[in-house]
Amino acid sequence: MHYVTEDELREAYGACPYEKYELPEGARLTPSARQFLIDFRIEFEDDEQGPRPRGDKRGAHGRPHREPAADLGALVFDANLLGVRLRLLARRALGVDNTVARRTERVGRKWQEARHASDLVADDGHADQGGPPPGPAPIPTFDAGIHPIFFEMACVHAQIGRYARSWARAKEGLGPDEARIAAAWVGEATTVCELLEEAIGNAEEEV
């Protein structure tokens, strides 16, 4: 099954803005992709519930809408993409901030290699499920003494935060077991973002 991502929708919208989106047959939207369509008031059919009734357009003109249940297959797909991004960051951070390099490589590999949603839960089966998802990404000071890797950390933070906030909302429509897995992943995503925030703050203090 193909999962349509937010990046795919943004790229298509950038090339030619559209007011209605038709989901390809057999495809599904990731939560962040669905949120993009809602935010941009683009009419679309729910991938899980079929066409919405006439006059019940999601997010358009303030009309009410219902939130479909999320699919944890999409969570795995999102984690796979972000895992690759984290591992690339880890590679570039080597020699600059080895703590970030080691920890983002470990988490990134786990996310990239996940094939089932349960693969995203900590080995001991527990994870911090409390607290909100990540806030806004930090903004490094534009200074010659700040290595470019810290700007890349801010970019990765923003990407992870966007996905985590989407899944924090989506888990409300899940069953108990699925919601626990989604919350565990959001908790780990928040921890990664906190690591990046700390690294950027330390770099600025050293300038």
8-17: pLDDT as tens digits: 898 888 788 8
Segment 28-36 mean pLDDT? 88
Question: For residue 29, which phi and psi values (nearest 5 degrees)?
Answer: -95, 140
Segment 130-141 mean pLDDT? 83
Instruction: Single out the residue in 66, 84, 107 at which a domain terminates.
Output: 66
- Write down the pLDDT at residue 205: 81
The DSSP result for 17-64, as a single string, is --SEE-PPTTEEE-HHHHHHHHHTT-EE-BTTTBSPPTT--TTSTT--
Same domain, 98 and 161: yes
pLDDT over 60 (residue 50): no
Same domain, 61 and 158: no
What residues make up the domain containing 163?
72-206
Percent of the chain scoring above 90 in pLDDT: 44
Q: Does residue 3 sit in helix, strand or coil?
A: strand
pLDDT over 70 (residue 37): yes
- Write down the pLDDT at residue 73: 85
Task: Count CB-CB contacts under 10 A for residue 94.
Answer: 13
Same domain, 30 and 94: no
Percent of the chain scoring above 70 in pLDDT: 82
H or E element in which residue 4 lies: strand 2-4
Same domain, 4 and 29: yes
Model pTM score = 0.72
Instruction: Single out the residue in 49, 66, 83 at which a domain terminates.
Output: 66
- Least trusted range by pLDDT, from 58-72, 99-113, 116-130: 58-72
Round the average pLDDT of the chain to a whole number and report it. Answer: 83
Same domain, 35 and 103: no
Same domain, 49 and 99: no
Same domain, 132 and 192: yes
**Residue 57 token pair:** 């357009």
Same domain, 79 and 113: yes
Same domain, 175 and 97: yes
Segment 123-136 mean pLDDT? 65
Instruction: Single out the residue in 66, 90, 108 at which a domain terminates.
Output: 66
Same domain, 49 and 112: no
Confidence of residue 46 (pLDDT cuts 50, 70, 90): low
- Write down the pLDDT at residue 41: 82
Question: 142-195 pLDDT, tens per residue?
Answer: 987 889 999 999 999 999 999 999 888 888 778 888 899 999 999 999 999 999
User: Beta partners for 43?
Assistant: 20
Same domain, 93 and 177: yes
Same domain, 37 and 61: yes
Our count of domains for the chain comes to 2
